[in-house]
């Protein structure tokens, strides 16, 4: 059953606030059954100083404070249009994520060893992005020690201000396991567990400081990358080729049991949408969704036989009202939507619903630009 979230529902607001503060999520829902089946040890390799499989609070993770103790109130903070996917993966759609308070210990340990390995599982939204996008960075207002970024030619590694080194190309929509291992003199890049490129480090590569871990953009928020990521880890040592293969296999196993969401692609026009509440009225929430009803003119993919379809959209993000909140009836659209029940991460999100008859079969639009 879909619950209606009104500003007067104090209990729901308090519950969501507690979840957000404790978990760094806008959701306190349980995993889907198929995701629970995938809860196997990851990372397989020992010694990670940071490991985030996904953003769900129940998933084992390695997040440590400045003294190396478990960071109990860890927050994977969203910035801009950064969303949690249906498997609690990190969805970068012009925004980014910051691993708050987890960066200091990472930098201290990498600086001590002088070596590191970065691991991520990525699904890029674009094969040849028009502008470079930072996938992962360790930086702050004073500088950047390391970054992975994608431009129109492929994925690159950048250490400090040294010349970036090209790693390999990425194909849009295809998940790839990325592992970069750097000792004091040499770097090696692995794709899906296989070594694909290596080289000598440029002189003057920076020693890691005590900065912040950022996923999906530079620390400043510039150069956003578009895509999805999960299974993100940092080790203060060089993983071996055998370990790289094992890590890639573990990442594939996490994804293997997943079932696709029920999806409908259609062309249509906006019939009506609920009034999006004001920023003041949604406080203490900083994000809110609104239901829109569309007249379906043509189904492009999937199955839908009704004349209208009701879709949830993000209308407020990070206390900013989005232009979509003020659309007029008759606005033409072409959307890819997924059944809301396939997105448990949205269960506790605040929403404005259309008064009167409530659709029993709601859909969710993660991005209106697809």
Q: What is the mean pLDDT of the chain?
A: 89
Residue 21 lies in a domain: no
Residue 25 lies in a domain: no
- Residue 203 reports pLDDT greater than 90: no
- 222 and 124 belong to one structural domain: yes
pLDDT digit string (tens) for 117-128? 999 999 999 999
Confidence tier at 349 by pLDDT (50, 70, 90): very high
- Residue 2 reports pLDDT greater than 50: no
Residue 319 lies in a domain: yes
- Residue 275 reports pLDDT greater than 50: yes
Is the pLDDT higher at 291 or at 41? 291
**pLDDT recorded at residue 56:** 93
- 300 and 265 belong to one structural domain: yes
pLDDT digit string (tens) for 280-302? 999 999 999 999 999 999 999 99
Residue 19 lies in a domain: no
pLDDT mean over 72-96: 95
- 250 and 269 belong to one structural domain: no
Count of other CB atoms within 10 angstroms of residue 142: 8
User: Do 72 and 355 touch, CB atoms closer than 8 A?
Assistant: no
Tokens read off for 181: 């291992």
Residue 7 lies in a domain: no
Is the pLDDT higher at 1 or at 313? 313
- Residue 107 reports pLDDT greater than 50: yes
**pLDDT recorded at residue 41:** 83
- 241 and 304 belong to one structural domain: no
Q: Specify the number of domains making up the chain.
A: 2
Q: How far is CA 328 from the centre of its chain?
A: 31
pLDDT digit string (tens) for 44-63? 999 999 999 999 989 999 99
**pLDDT recorded at residue 339:** 97
User: Do 81 and 317 touch, CB atoms closer than 8 A?
Assistant: yes
- Radius of gyration for the chain, computed over Cα atoms and rounded to the nearest angstrom: 21
- 82 and 215 belong to one structural domain: yes
Name the CA dihedral angle for 53, 103, 317, 26, rounded to a multiple of 10 degrees: 50
**Strand 351-352 to 288-301 pairing:** parallel
Question: Which of the listed residues 256, 290, 323 is the one where a domain comes to its end?
Answer: 256
Task: Return d(Cα 211, Cα 215) in angstroms, integer.
Answer: 13
**pLDDT recorded at residue 31:** 46
- 179 and 110 belong to one structural domain: yes
- 321 and 172 belong to one structural domain: no
Tokens read off for 325: 């909140």
pLDDT mean over 221-244: 97
pTM of the complete model: 0.88
Phi (first) and psi of residue 34, to 5 degrees: -70, -30
- Residue 207 reports pLDDT greater than 90: no
CB burial of residue 66 (10 Å; 0-12, 13-18, 19+) = middle
Confidence tier at 355 by pLDDT (50, 70, 90): confident
Domain that holds residue 271: 261-364
**pLDDT recorded at residue 9:** 37
Question: Which of the listed residues 256, 276, 291 is the one where a domain comes to its end?
Answer: 256
Residue 146 lies in a domain: yes
- 225 and 298 belong to one structural domain: no
**pLDDT recorded at residue 119:** 98
**pLDDT recorded at residue 357:** 67
- Residue 29 reports pLDDT greater than 50: no
Residue 30 lies in a domain: no
**Beta strand spans in 152-262 (E):** 154-159, 165-168, 175-182, 186-191, 194-200, 212-215, 226-235
- 70 and 109 belong to one structural domain: yes
Confidence tier at 161 by pLDDT (50, 70, 90): confident
Residue 67 lies in a domain: yes
CATH number of domain containing 132 = 2.60.120.200
Count of other CB atoms within 10 angstroms of residue 33: 9
**pLDDT recorded at residue 133:** 97
- 304 and 358 belong to one structural domain: yes
- 242 and 270 belong to one structural domain: no
CATH number of domain containing 316 = 2.40.50
User: Do 285 and 315 touch, CB atoms closer than 8 A?
Assistant: no
**pLDDT recorded at residue 220:** 95
- 239 and 332 belong to one structural domain: no
User: Do 63 and 115 touch, CB atoms closer than 8 A?
Assistant: no
Task: Return d(Cα 117, Cα 136) in angstroms, integer.
Answer: 13
pLDDT digit string (tens) for 294-328? 999 999 999 999 999 999 999 999 999 999 999 99
Percent of the chain with pLDDT over 90: 81
- Residue 1 reports pLDDT greater than 50: no
User: Do 106 and 138 touch, CB atoms closer than 8 A?
Assistant: yes
Question: Which of the listed residues 196, 228, 256 is the one where a domain comes to its end?
Answer: 256
């Amino acid at each position: 059953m879909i619950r209606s979230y009104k500003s007067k529902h104090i209990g729901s607001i308090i519950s969501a606030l507690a979840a957000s503060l404790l978990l760094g999520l806008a959701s306190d829902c349980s995993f889907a059954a198929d995701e629970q089946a995938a809860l196997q040890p990851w990372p397989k390799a020992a010694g990670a100083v940071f490991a985030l499989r996904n953003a769900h609070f129940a998933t084992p993770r390695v997040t440590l404070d400045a003294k190396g103790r478990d960071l109990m109130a860890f927050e994977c903070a969203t910035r801009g249009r950064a969303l949690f996917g249906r498997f609690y993966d990190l969805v970068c759609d012009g925004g980014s994520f910051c691993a708050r308070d987890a960066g200091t210990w990472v930098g201290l340990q990498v600086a001590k060893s002088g070596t590191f390995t970065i691991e991520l599982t990525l699904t890029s939204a674009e094969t040849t992005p028009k502008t470079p996008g930072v996938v992962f960075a360790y930086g702050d207002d004073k500088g950047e020690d390391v970054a992975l970024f994608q431009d129109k030619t492929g994925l690159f590694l950048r250490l400090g201000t040294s010349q970036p080194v090209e790693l390999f190309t990425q194909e849009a929509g295809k998940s790839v396991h990325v592992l970069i291992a750097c000792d004091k003199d040499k770097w090696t890049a692995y794709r899906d567990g296989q070594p694909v490129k290596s080289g000598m480090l440029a002189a003057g590569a920076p020693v890691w400081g005590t900065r912040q871990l950022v996923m999906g953009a530079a620390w400043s928020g510039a150069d956003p990358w578009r895509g999805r990521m999960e299974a993100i880890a940092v080790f203060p040592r060089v993983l071996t080729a055998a370990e790289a293969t094992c890590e890639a296999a573990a990442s594939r196993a996490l994804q293997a049991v997943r079932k696709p969401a029920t999806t409908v692609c259609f062309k249509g026009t906006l019939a009506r949408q609920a009034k999006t509440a004001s920023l003041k009225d949604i406080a203490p929430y900083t994000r809110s969704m609104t239901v829109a009803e569309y007249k379906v003119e043509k189904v492009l993919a999937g199955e839908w036989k009704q004349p209208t379809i009701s879709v949830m959209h993000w209308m407020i993000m990070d206390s900013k009202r989005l232009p979509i909140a003020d659309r007029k009836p008759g606005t033409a659209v072409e959307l890819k939507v997924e059944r809301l029940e396939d997105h448990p991460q949205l269960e506790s999100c605040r929403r404005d619903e259309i008064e009167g008859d409530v659709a029993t079969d709601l859909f969710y639009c993660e991005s209106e630009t697809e």
